[in-house]
Structure 1
Amino acid sequence: MKLDPFYLIVDSAAWIERLVPLGVRLVQLRIKTIDEAGLRAEIRKAKALCAQHKCQFIVNDHWRLAIEEGCDFVHLGQEDLQTADLARIRAAGLRLGLSTHDHAELQTAITAEPNYIALGPIYPTILKKMKWAPQGLERISEWKWKRRVAPIPLVAIGGLNPDRLNGVFSAGADSAAVVTDITLSADPEAQTRQWIEKTEQWR
């Protein structure tokens, strides 16, 4: 499958309502602290918004709810992958994205035959505290070519901004994921438009 080069990650349907109409084509809803009823409502609203604007919608972690709500894509971290029912996920027709941070996790991910593999953090990130050092552009190229991730699409994440995109894509990434560079921006709409413009040549 081909991923859009601009991969937005947000923590509410309100962000999706605000930014997806600007031309976002790939978005993940990543909510960590909410009760199930609230999460279901957020997924339902986000899914409807994405359908309206022809944007691929991905649910982070909550694969059971994704199945129940008729979603078609889920993203799992390594810990979630250990407990997820991959057979059930596949039987429901969900596509699967997986996070990786080192070679062992990469091998685990490849074995699961995902629809994309995410590598990070590429640069230092403030999103969450990580035990892994920044991977750098060289690791993107290593995983894409020497480690033969291809033809599985490779998503770069962590510390990315528009000025770093050419390097990320030139190194071999198929898509660049962003969280705080947009959501913490003084003007998230303008920053989103800049990301769309900067990734246009890689479509």
Structure 2
Amino acid sequence: MNTLPQPIYPVVDSAQWVKRLGQAGARFIQLRVKDKPQAELLEEVRSARTIAETLGVCLVLNDYWQAALDEGISYIHLGQEDLDTADLAAIRRGGLKLGVSTHCPEELDRALSYAPDYVALGPIWETKLKKMAFGPQGVEKLTVWKKQVGDTPVVAIGGITLERVKPCLNAGADCVSAVSAFTGHADPEGQVKAWLAAAGC
């Protein structure tokens, strides 16, 4: 049975956030870096990898599958559009674990055809972080998704707050993920601890 390192999954945009949240107890963190030159991107990835190794964090790199292979990152997370261009065979040969974003049944079927190590469903609630082509899915969809995917872990993302952690897990999610709930909070480290407590850790 597939399992994830932890039921909470912060998404951050820098190595320093990996350090802060990792020191607070997060053990499954995605690094999502956007719009940086290649040299700066690799510097950020290498720094994040070193910090993650030191703290015992399982690091996930968003989008940049070749960098993940080259730099020895554990997981790669791909959106649907990334599946069009990523070399999935190379990703598997390199031993990378794979997470895929999904928003509708067609995308879920496509994701499952690649035998991912987890699928992310979202947005569960409305999110203002980025413009979404899909409306809120609701927690009920988590139950439907989980029945369909079986042993493949389901990650809930989109509009999730501390108060929504337990409802998502109770509905069938194996893991809950967020960006601004951690990096936009006045006490990010406290949020990590509170989310872990809400998840029963």
Once the two structures are superposed, residues 136-163 of structure 1 have per-residue CA deviations (whole angstroms, 9 ceiling, x without a partner) of: 0111001111xx2111000000000111
Q: Does the residue aligned with 2:50 lie in a helix, a strand or coil?
A: helix
- Name the residue aligned to 2:176: 176
- Name the residue aligned to 1:10: 12
Once the two structures are superposed, residues 6-56 of structure 1 have per-residue CA deviations (whole angstroms, 9 ceiling, x without a partner) of: 101000001112221111110000011101111101111111111111111
How does the TM-score come out when normalised to structure 1?
0.95
Map residues 19-58 of structure 1 onto 2, 5 A cutoff. 19-58=21-60
Q: Does the residue aligned with 1:159 lie in a helix, a strand or coil?
A: coil
1:72 deviation in Å? 2.0
Q: Does the residue aligned with 1:193 lie in a helix, a strand or coil?
A: helix
1:82 deviation in Å? 1.1
How does the TM-score come out when normalised to structure 2?
0.96
Letter in 2 for 1:165: V
1:60 deviation in Å? 0.3
| Distance in 2, Cα, partners of 1:73 & 1:189 | 23
Once the two structures are superposed, residues 122-145 of structure 1 have per-residue CA deviations (whole angstroms, 9 ceiling, x without a partner) of: 001111010111000111001111
| Distance in 2, Cα, partners of 1:163 & 1:81 | 33
Count, aligned residues = 199
1:189 deviation in Å? 1.9
* Structure 2 segments unaligned to the other structure (5+ residues): none
| Distance in 1, Cα, partners of 2:150 & 2:190 | 33
Q: Quote the RMSD (CA, aligned, Å).
A: 0.9
- Name the residue aligned to 2:116: 114
Map residues 1-203 of structure 1 onto 2, 5 A cutoff. 1-3=2-4, 4-145=6-147, 148-199=148-199, 201=200
* Structure 1 segments unaligned to the other structure (5+ residues): none
Q: Does the residue aligned with 1:130 lie in a helix, a strand or coil?
A: coil
| Distance in 2, Cα, partners of 1:70 & 1:191 | 29
Identical pairs, percent = 45
Letter in 1 for 2:144: E
